[in-house]
Structure formats: C-alpha cells, structure tokens
Amino acid sequence: MEPPRPTSSDGSVDRELRDHCNATEDPAHESTTPLAARKHPLLGSRLLYSRSLKVIRPASFSLGTIISGVTTLVGYRDLLYTMTLFRISVRYKQSVLGWLWAALQPLAMMLIYTLVFSRVARAANDGVPYWLFVFSGLLPWTFFSGAVSNAINGLIAHSDLLTKLYFPREIIPLSYVFTALVDFAIACGILSGLMVYYHLSFSWNVLYAFPVVAILVAFTSAVALILSSVQVRFRDVGAALPVVLQIGVFATPVIYPLNWVPSRYQRLYLMNPVASIIENFRRIVLRGSSPDVSMLITSAAITLCCLVLAYAYFKATEVTMSDTI
Amino acid sequence: MFDIKLSHVSKRYSIRNSTRARSVGWPQFSFLGKKPKELWALRDVSFEVAEGESLGIIGNNGAGKSTVLKLLSRITAPTSGEIKVRGRLSALVEVGSGFHPELTGRENIFLNGSMLGMTRSEIARMVDSIVEFAGVPEYIDAPVKRYSSGMNVRLGFSIAAHLDPDILLLDEVLAVGDIVFQAKCLDLVSQLRQSGRTVILISHDLGAIQRLCDRVLLLHQGQVLMTGTPIDVIDHYQQMAMGGGETYHLDDDTDQKSALCSRISFTSEELDQIPRTGYPMFARLGFHARHHLENVVFNILIYWPSGYLCAQLTTAISDPQLRIAPGSGEVEFCCPVLEIQPGWYRVDISIESNGEDLDRQQRCAVLRVLPGKMVFGDFYMDTVWRVLT
C-alpha cells in the first residue's frame, strides 16, 4: 500500500502527474483490449470430465480401503511411471559407469561369496560353475534387498512432499521397487550373456520366469509397503533392517542349494516366498527345467495375503503420515 | 449445490516430546506409558462452500486455518467428522515444493504435474503454455537446482494453475514472486472466479480477502467464530485482535516527564459517534505540561494492522511556534473528510519540544473507522464532478 502522493499548489506536479498518466495509458490500453476479447489462455484448455465426489473420513483399517486405494492408484499410474523413470535417470546422472552399476553390485557380491565358499560348496552344484550358481541366486535376492532397503527410507526422504501435496503415498515405495526391477532386468541381461559364454542352453521353460518374477515383485512390494509405513513412526525398523537382510542371505538358497536344508525343515524354510522364488528362478533359468508348481502356488498364496494386509495397513496409516513424520 | 462440505470435523494432533528422548539416549516407550500431549487444531467445524463461491478464511496464527487447508487437500485426515469435496481441487500451497533439483525444468513439469493428478498426455499438451506462463523458456532444459527461487515459484505456480481445477485453494501464495508475476496471479485468480470456479483464500492480507471474497469465515482456536460478509467479519476480527473502546486514558504515573499525553479519542461530529469513511473526524489529544514549553509539536500516527504507517496528524506543519503554559489542555485535530478505509488502526502519539521527544507512547490506542461512503481501493477520495460539453 503506497502512501498518497504529496500534492502541492504549484502546477508542476499536476503536469508531471498528467504526463505520468499519459505514459501509462497506452500499454494499459493495449493489454486490456485483447484480454477482453479472448479469454485467458489457461482457461481455454479446460478438460471435459464429470465432477466426482470425494469423501474424506478419519483413518480406518478395512479391506474396503483397498478397492478405493487401487482405483486411485490406477488414476495416478502416470506418476508411478514418471517417478520411476526419473529415479533411474537421477541415480546414474553424475556417475561415470552409469548403468553398469546395476550389474556391478551383484557381480561384486558374487566374487566375494565365490572366494569364500567355493571350496565348501564344490560338491553340490551338478556341473554348473559355483559362481554362476551364486550369481543366479543373487539376482532375485539383490532385487529384494535393494528395493526394500531403498524403499524403507523413501517416505522420510520425501517428507517435504508428504506435508505439502496429496498423491497416493504408496507410489513412493513402489517407485523404488520398480527402479530395482529395472536394475534386475539389466543384471539378467548380464546373466544370459554369461550363460551363453558357458554354452548353457536356454529352454522354453525360461518363460516361467515371468510368473516367478511377478510373485517376487508383489512380495517385495508388500514388504516395502509395510516397512516403509512403520518406519515413518518408528525409525527402529531402519536400524534393524541391514542386520535382517544380512541374515536373509543365509536364510534363502542364495549361496547353497536347497537340498542342504534338512528335509524336515524344508517345508518351513519354503514358507518364505523369497526362498522358494530363488529356488524356482534358478531351476528355470540355470537348469532349464520346469518350476516346482506346489512351491510356486504356495509362495503366490502367501504373497497375496501379505500384499492385501500390507496395502490395507499402509492405506490406514497413510492419511496421518504427514502428522507423524 | 455445495462444492465443499465439512460436517463436524475435528482434528487432534499429539505432540510427542521427541527431542528429550533423544538427548537422554535411553529408549523411552512413550506409547506404553504416559499419554502424549494433545492439541485440538479443529473442534467440531462445519461449513459449506457453494459452487462458484469464493470464501476467505481468516484468524490468528494457530486458529486452524492451515489445518483446514491440509484437510481439504487430503494431506492429512480428520480425527472425526466428514469432508465432502465435489470436483477437482488444486491447492496452491508452497508451490514448487515437489521439484527434484537434479531434473530439468521440463522433467519437473512432468513429475510435478503427475503428482497433482494430471496424466502424461495432458501435461504434454500443456507444457508449452506452462513454460510461457512461468516465463522461463530459456531455462527449461536446465536442472532446477540452477534456478533462482523466484523462477522455482513461478514454474510451480504455473503448473498448479494449469491443473484447471474446479476448486482452488490459495494460502498466502500471492505473497511470493515479483510484482509483475503477482499481478499475473491476481489476474488469473479473478478470472478463475469469474468463470465460476470455487475459490478458498486463506490469508492475513485483509485487503486481498475483502477484494476477492464473497464471504468470510473467522476461525478462532479451532472453531468457527463467525461467517458473513467480508466487511462484517473483518471488522469483528480486527476488534477481537485489538480490543475495543473509543477513548483511551493513558499512563500518567511518570513524574520525570515535563509533558505527557493523558487521553486520546476519535469521534465524528457528534462527540459520542464513531468516525466514518468520507465524513468529518475529530481527534482530541489531552495533555498535561509541568513547565512552560517552547516550539511544541503534537503527533498522532495511524498504522495499518500490519504495522505499515498509514497517515499522520501533526501540528508541525500548521504552527511551528506553538507554546504551551503549565497545566492540562487538549489539542483538537479536525479532518473534514476522513479518507481511510473502514477498519481498525493502531495509533502512536507523541509530544515534542524543540525537536526532542517529551512523551512518546507507541501502539497506545486504536482508531476504529466505520463504513461510510463506499470505498473501492485503498482510500476514499472526495470528489465533485460535472459534465463538460
């Protein structure tokens, strides 16, 4: 608010004022006439759609939220795509090796495990070199552990978004899962290169990899959803996770074959979807045999239960995340 | 038909004393033991906003304005109650906050746009228009971390504006950006209003509220205190913020001062009436002097509630050689036409002698101005007119 212009009795100020008015009149005239003739450019772009009624209620844990949640998520699918795309491009933006890192990480792990365990494990790998055996197990494992350990801090890292914008929050952990999936695909390319080099043949059974990987992605998403939402409230989860993942390498058939597990414990052991997925993935890709169907169905059933519960829990905590973060 | 309807909405925040737990270093299971402190940001709030209406929300800090905004934009959920929102809603709150610094402006348009609920094909169609409105065409393929903060905000506002919402939430957003851009935004908001969009404006800028809103809602300590026309509600709010009364008896227990102001009042021509815009106003300043004083100047400074100096009444111009004798007296200022807008103003008074302050009392009184002749704009200007042929 400007203070009023001091007036004076002599005419010079009046003249100056009049000049000032004349000077500003022309551009003002120029801009008002076309504006009146046409509407604002932004208003011309109005999209035709029917208004929908949204009802905002207090948080609740119910399976009904899943349906509305999935519907909203489908509406925001482009955000999931865009976020995943940019997460990938940002990650390797200022690195020299770029995309190669997606393959270098499991390769390095493979080297370590091979050096440490190859002597112990020589007996058990029916013709396949041990390091290839390890590498094929490490791929799904690296996907799982990488996705979960990145996703768990995702919501906290984006707290500025959570407190200022609304969008389905599950998109953040899910975008980490899909970013890891791209890395997984690159590493699979390396694996097939190595298999060709070692003259291991592919069979049509390799197509079973798609349902197997789909179950793996679903289970990883379930774990990522539930852990990342608990992490918002209790940061202890983030501290415990590296230890749990370290143990996980030994609780899944990554560096040893399944038949090393005593047969009476195998049933319990395979309740872990990651364990049965790694075993099936190796059978399909490395050995070219068909998957163990009962193992596949069990892991799919467990995964579905986990995913439904995890999503319902996530949706129940989502609405107050911005308060507790 | 309503666009927004809140029914008995309450929102409770629990304040956990997290810093203490961290500094001690021992785990404190606050969720098992004593209950965290509770704070009701909103309590049983109900109101409706009709389609095409523009509602202003005012209130002190902590009255619950931002909580209403967060609830409407679904950033958080109510503790109890229900909110209905009909149509696409866009909140212009801290625009540009969704930007990723490593990505280019163009990439951020896609990222931010899809966060606001646009599809990629919608954004692709609008991207040129967004860039043009933001006025950053030459930087659009540079990473956003190289942008100035103003460019950031302009790009953010431009994206949010292109969402073309049915309902627009604004929270002090007009305070950012340079003057040219602010004018552009105001222009856009009033055009959106004219084209029938529903607008909710949350602001401390009471002038903007008065200009842009059909109806105003006053929040106080999480409850709706009042709704009504902008003039009524703003008047009530200012009265609440300042405390009422027309005559002020000022502190007079200081013995050291050689002169002091004892009393001040603002009236219209009738001594018991509150002054009105466009009509005469009388200000009476009572004083008490202990000695003969030379070269005395009396000042009354009138401030906007925001603290900006609005006007000054002074004896300095009219009579530089004013002298007063010991004892009590009164100075009367007469304004033939009161030019300031209706509202509540804070007042400073002072007495000077030979350029030295004898008494200065800051924010010691309130000037209330009632609506009189109509004011559009910041000041009433008394005019006579005739048709020249």
Pairing outcome for strands B54-58 and B215-220? parallel
Q: What is the mean pLDDT of residues B55-60?
A: 90
What pLDDT score was predicted for residue A104?
84
> Which positions in chain B touch A160 (Cβ < 8 Å)?
97
Q: Tell which of B241, B273, B288 closes a domain.
A: B241
Radius of gyration of chain B (CA): 27
- What lies within 8 Å, CB to CB, of B40 at 6+ separation is B10, B11, B12, B222
pLDDT tier, B366 (very low <50, low <70, confident <90, very high otherwise) = confident
Residues B313 and B299 sit within 8 Å (Cβ to Cβ): yes
Report ipTM (2 d.p.): 0.72
- What secondary structure letter does DSSP report for A287? I
> Which of A5, A62, A72, A79 to mutate against chain B (most B CBs within 10 Å)?
A79
Which residue among B78, B83, B120 sits closest to A82, beta carbon to beta carbon?
B120
Backbone angles phi, psi at B330, to 5 degrees: -145, 140
B257 and B235 within one domain: no
Q: Does B81 contact A58 at a Cβ distance shorter than 8 Å? A: yes
Q: What is the pLDDT of residue A34?
A: 34
One domain, residues B270 and B354? yes
**Residues B265, B172 share a domain:** no
Q: What is the pLDDT of residue A9?
A: 41
pLDDT at position B256: 67
**What's the half-sphere exposure (Cβ side, CA atoms, 13 Å) at A94?**
3
The burial class, CB within 10 Å (0-12 / 13-18 / 19+), for B175 is: exposed
Q: Does residue B43 belong to any structural domain of this protein?
A: no
B331 with B227, same domain? no
Substitution target in A165, A172, A174 with the highest count of B β-carbons within 10 Å is: A165
Q: Which domain holds residue B304?
A: 247-369
Q: Is residue B236 part of a domain?
A: yes
- Per-residue model confidence (pLDDT) at position B296: 87
Whether residue B119 and residue A78 make contact (CB cut-off 8 A), yes or no, is yes
Q: Put the strands of the sheet holding B259-267 in their side by side order.
A: B247-249, B259-267, B281-289, B327-335
Residue in B98, B100, B119 nearest the CB of A165: B98
pLDDT of residue B34: 54
The answer on B178 and B147 residing in a single domain is: yes
- Strands (E) in chain A, as ranges, are 53-56
B224-244 tens-digit pLDDT: 999 999 888 988 888 777 654
Residue A52 lies in a domain: no
8 Å CB contact of A39 and B195: yes
Chain B residues close to A53, C-beta within 8 Å? 84-86
Looking at the domain assignment, is residue A216 inside a domain?
A: yes
Dihedrals phi, psi of A216, to nearest 5 degrees:
-60, -45
- Average pLDDT over every residue of B284-313: 87
For residue A6, what is the nearest residue in chain B, using CA coordinates? B311
Which residues in chain A land under pLDDT 70?
A: 1-50, 119-126
Distance, CA of B297 to CA of B312 (rounded, Å): 12
Cβ neighbours of A41 in B, within 8 Å: 129, 132-133
Same domain, B311 and B267: yes
Element (H, E) at B38: strand B37-50
A239: nearest Cα among A145, A149, A141, A105: A149
Determine, yes or no, domain membership for A16.
no
Q: SS3 of B361, please?
A: strand
Selected residues 66-105 of chain B with any CB under 8 Å from a CB in chain A: 70-71, 73-88, 91, 93-94, 97-98, 100, 102-103
Q: How many domains does chain A have?
A: 1
- Residue B201 maps to which CATH number? 3.40.50.300
Q: The tokens of A102 are what?
A: 């997606």
Beta bridge partners of B309: B303
pLDDT of residue A204: 85
Would A286 be classed as within a structural domain?
A: yes
What are the chain A neighbours of B13 within 8 Å (beta carbons)? 323
Let me know if residue B221 belongs to a domain.
yes
Residue A197 resides in a domain: yes
B267 lies in a domain?
Answer: yes
Render pLDDT for A180-215 as a digit per residue (tens, 0 to 9): 999 999 889 989 888 888 877 778 888 899 999 999
According to DSSP, residue B323 is labeled: -
Query: What's the CATH number where B311 sits?
Result: 2.70.50.60
Which domain covers residue A187, as residue numbers?
Answer: 64-324
Helix (H) or strand (E) holding B345: strand B343-353
Q: For a pLDDT cut of 70, what percent of chain B falls above it?
A: 87
- The whole-number average pLDDT for the span B175-188 is 72
Residue B180 has pLDDT above 80, yes or no: no
Does B23 reside within a domain?
A: no
Same domain, B207 and B173: yes
Written as six digits, the tokens of B351 are 């007495």
* Site from A7, A35, A45, A51 to mutate, B interface, most B CB atoms within 10 angstroms: A51
pLDDT over 70 at B63, yes or no: yes
Please tell me the predicted confidence (pLDDT) of residue A313: 92
Higher pLDDT, A13 or B82: B82
CA A68 to CA A266: how far, in whole Å?
Answer: 39
Write out pLDDT tens, residues B30-53: 555 555 677 889 999 999 999 889
- The answer on B169 and B103 residing in a single domain is yes
User: Does any domain span residue B116?
Assistant: yes
| Interfacial B residues in 257-316 facing A (CB < 8 Å) | 304, 308-311
Flag if A57 and B78 touch (Cβ within 8 Å): yes
B280 in the same domain as B190:
no
Find all residues with CB under 8 Å of A242, minimum gap 6, and list them: A149
Query: How many Cβ atoms sit within 10 Å of the Cβ of residue A250?
Result: 10
Q: In the listed set B216, B241, B266, which residue is the last one of a domain according to the structure?
A: B241
Number of domains in chain B: 2
Chain B CA closest to residue A158? B98
Q: Which chain A residues have a beta carbon less than 8 Å from that of B160?
A: none
| B113 and B218 together in one domain | yes
Nearest residue, CB atoms, A58 vs list B79, B103, B311: B79
Number of CB pairs, chain A paired with chain B, less than 8 A apart? 135
Percentage of residues of chain B with pLDDT beyond 90: 17
Cα–Cα distance measured from residue A104 to residue B288, given in angstroms and rounded to the nearest whole number: 88
The residue among B182, B212, B241 that closes a domain is B241
Question: What are the CA-CA distances from residue B224 to residues A108, B211, B228, B293 (Å)?
Answer: 63, 22, 11, 53
pTM value?
0.75
Specify if B326 maps to a domain. Answer: yes
A38 touches chain B (CB under 8 A): no
My answer on whether B265 and B355 are in the same domain is: yes
Residue A90 touches chain B, beta carbons under 8 Å = yes
The per-residue b/e assignment along A264-278, b for 16 or more CB within 10 angstroms, e otherwise, is eeeeebbebbbbbbb
- The pLDDT of residue A47: 44
How confident is the prediction for chain B on average, in pLDDT? Answer: 82
Residues B315 and B360 in one domain: yes
Residue of B31, B45, B70, B75 to mutate, testing the A interface (most A Cβ within 10 Å of its Cβ): B75
pLDDT of B365 > 90? The answer is no
Helix, strand, coil fractions of chain A, as percent rounded to 5: 75, 0, 25
pLDDT at residue A16, as a whole number: 41
pLDDT tens-digit readout, B338-363? 998 888 888 989 888 888 888 888 88
On the question of pLDDT at B139 being above 70, the answer is yes
Q: Is residue A45 assigned to a domain?
A: no
CB-count burial class (<10 Å; 0-12, 13-18, 19+) for A244 = middle
